[in-house]
């Protein structure tokens, strides 16, 4: 498990998810200066992204050589990811300043920032979908990363939204959890019907106690809580964050590399 990648991917997706949910809720703000809670929300978005980017450096063998990683935009998804995330970070700062000053065009910046964030999710997903991981070389990471952004984005956004927007966030979170539950049940089954390496990945997921614990606690309990309370309790986002961290750990440890078959005959 690469702990630095777990931190980078989860925190960056929280940051993007919050930006997207803020854009969805934009009509909750009247014309003029945005409430201080929205300014604080942008600060949280920026801090989460900054920690994520800092954590990503620890994945590199030579962190001080990281600027060279942007030199291969034409062939490397990693280079594209770095550039898009940097653009997203710059837009977060610009949007925060614009909101702080009550700029008339601040919500246009919010929308653009959210859109760039969604592009970042797709690009980041492609980084972790190489041919050497048959189970992931099909866009699956984009689905996983998008679900994390929408689940945690809508959950933590409840800390900043007004009462009138809580039902909207609850609905988004409920739908995201249902989709997440279905996908996490179906994908390992699909992997079991694939080639040898994909079968090993599916077996690793279904044979993992973490997999079943996450299904019960994050998705099962999460949906039950939303069904009973009809809103997002203050403690639920933390529970969902723990579930997503477990899911990301499985993503980096349970997916089998094609090199496992080198030297083996079947």
- Please report whether residue 265 resides in a domain: no
pLDDT in tens, 166-195: 999 999 999 999 999 999 999 999 999 988
Three-state secondary structure call for residue 2: coil
Assess whether 103 and 169 both reside in one domain.
no
Assess whether 174 and 204 both reside in one domain.
yes
Assess whether 46 and 70 both reside in one domain.
yes
Domain boundary among 127, 144, 175: 127
Assess whether 145 and 76 both reside in one domain.
no
Number of domains the chain contains: 2
- Please report whether residue 194 resides in a domain: yes
pTM, two decimals, is 0.90
Assess whether 176 and 88 both reside in one domain.
no
d(CA 50, CA 33): 25
Assess whether 192 and 118 both reside in one domain.
no
pLDDT in tens, 201-258: 999 999 999 999 999 999 999 999 999 999 999 999 999 999 999 999 999 999 998 8
Assess whether 214 and 107 both reside in one domain.
no
* Cα–Cα separations (whole angstroms), residue 163 to 33, 34, 63, 158, 211: 19, 16, 44, 9, 34
- Please report whether residue 266 resides in a domain: no
Domain that holds residue 205: 135-260
């Amino acid at each position: 498990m690469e702990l630095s990648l777990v931190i980078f991917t989860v925190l960056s997706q929280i940051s993007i998810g919050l930006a997207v949910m803020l854009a969805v809720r934009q009509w909750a703000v009247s014309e003029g200066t945005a409430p201080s809670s929205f300014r604080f929300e942008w600060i949280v978005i920026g801090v989460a992204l900054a920690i994520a980017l800092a954590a990503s450096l620890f994945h590199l063998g030579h962190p001080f050589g990281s600027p060279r990683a942007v030199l291969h935009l034409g062939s490397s998804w990693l280079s594209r990811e770095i550039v898009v995330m940097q653009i997203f970070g710059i837009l977060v700062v610009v949007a925060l300043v614009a909101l702080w000053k009550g700029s008339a065009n601040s919500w246009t910046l919010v929308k653009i920032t959210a859109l760039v964030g969604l592009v970042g999710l797709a690009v980041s997903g492609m980084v972790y979908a190489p041919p050497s991981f048959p189970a992931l070389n099909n866009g699956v990471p984009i689905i996983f990363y998008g679900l994390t952004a929408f689940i945690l984005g809508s959950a933590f956004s409840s800390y900043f939204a007004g009462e009138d927007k809580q039902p909207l966030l609850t609905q988004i979170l409920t739908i995201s959890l249902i989709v997440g539950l279905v996908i996490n049940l179906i994908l390992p089954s699909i992997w079991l019907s694939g080639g040898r390496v994909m079968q090993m990945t599916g077996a690793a997921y279904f044979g993992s106690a973490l997999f079943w614990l996450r299904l019960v606690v994050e998705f099962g309990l999460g949906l039950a809580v939303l069904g009973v309370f009809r809103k997002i309790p203050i403690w639920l986002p933390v529970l969902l964050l723990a579930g997503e961290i477990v899911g990301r750990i499985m993503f980096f440890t349970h997916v089998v590399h094609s090199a496992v078959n080198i030297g083996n005959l079947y």
